Structure 1
Amino acid sequence: MLGVKDDLILKCATGFGGGVGARGSLCGVISGSVMVIGMQKGRGREDDMSVALETYLRCSRLMTWFNDEFGSERCSDLTGGVDFRDPEQLAKYYESGHQKCVEMAGKTAAKLAELLE
């Protein structure tokens, strides 16, 4: 979809994990999706602010949908309060297969494709 083949985006997004810095805040699925919207539809230096406004509105629609679909945008709410800064909790979460995050990422990717049409 994006045509990016190196690790730059993954590296840039690493800090979003676990709710931004593993603090249980904004879900990384949302953060990553906002990055993708920006990459595809965001404002460049030569664009006027109407491009930025349309991007803001797409991101807002994504967040409204996400909250309606999953009940929260907070990682701590979505994962049952896992503290991703605690190595034991982190290991246990990943050993469990972290299915909730996988499910949210899949559904959100489908919604993201729709928003980018």
Structure 2
Amino acid sequence: MDKGNIAELFGRGQDCGQIVVEHFANKIGVSKEEANRMAAAFGGGLGVGETCGAVMGAMIVLGLKYGHNGPDDNERKGEMNEKRAEFLALWNEKYGKVRCEDLLGNNIGTQEGLTKILDEGLLFSFCPSLVDDAIKMLEKLA
């Protein structure tokens, strides 16, 4: 998926996490509709500038692909923990932070912050790069 397509999806109202999870829907055994619903609450860093939706979407993908199912599934839990650590290492190597507010320099969860983000064009330039990178990092892991 390229950044132009991602920006177009943002323009249609999809959020970072939704785009990431939808990209992997077939691979993780969910429909595109389910992918979008399960990631819907994570946009804008939970709507308050916290953890980036692209990172949250990546965690959903890794959980569905590698996640453990209860206390007796420690082998899968270990594998999932390794994949999560690998993703976060890749992400932190590139960005050094996971919070939307830190990545964007403004809190998307406030009107003032959102206005600045939109005025600077970050939602349609920088955010698609975050999503594209999250997808590329996941493709190495999932």
Q: Fold match, TM over 0.5? A: yes
**How many angstroms does 1:89 deviate by?**
2.1
Say which of 70, 82, 86 aligns to 1:61. 86
Cα gap change, 1:113 to 1:47, in 2 (>3 Å)? farther
| Counterpart Cα distance in 2 of 1:12 and 1:90 | 27
Q: More helix per residue: 1 or 2? A: 2
Cα gap change, 1:88 to 1:34, in 2 (>3 Å)? closer
**How many angstroms does 1:102 deviate by?**
0.5
Q: CA RMSD in A?
A: 2.6
Cα gap change, 1:23 to 1:47, in 2 (>3 Å)? same
Structure 1 gap ranges (5+): none
Say which of 45, 54, 68 aligns to 1:19. 45
Cα gap change, 1:114 to 1:88, in 2 (>3 Å)? closer
Say which of 22, 27, 32 aligns to 2:57. 32
* Aligned match of 2:34: 8
* Aligned match of 1:73: 98
Residue correspondences, number: 115
Cα gap change, 1:50 to 1:23, in 2 (>3 Å)? same
**C-alpha contact 1:41 1:51 (8 A) present in aligned 2:** yes
**How many angstroms does 1:5 deviate by?**
3.0
Normalised by the size of structure 2, how large is the TM-score? 0.68
| Counterpart Cα distance in 2 of 1:71 and 1:15 | 24
Cα gap change, 1:33 to 1:60, in 2 (>3 Å)? same
| Counterpart Cα distance in 2 of 1:61 and 1:38 | 13
Structure 2 gap ranges (5+): 1-23
Q: Percent identity?
A: 23
Q: Which 4+ stretches in 1 moved above 3 angstroms?
A: 44-47
Normalised by the size of structure 1, how large is the TM-score? 0.81
**C-alpha contact 2:45 2:52 (8 A) present in aligned 1:** yes
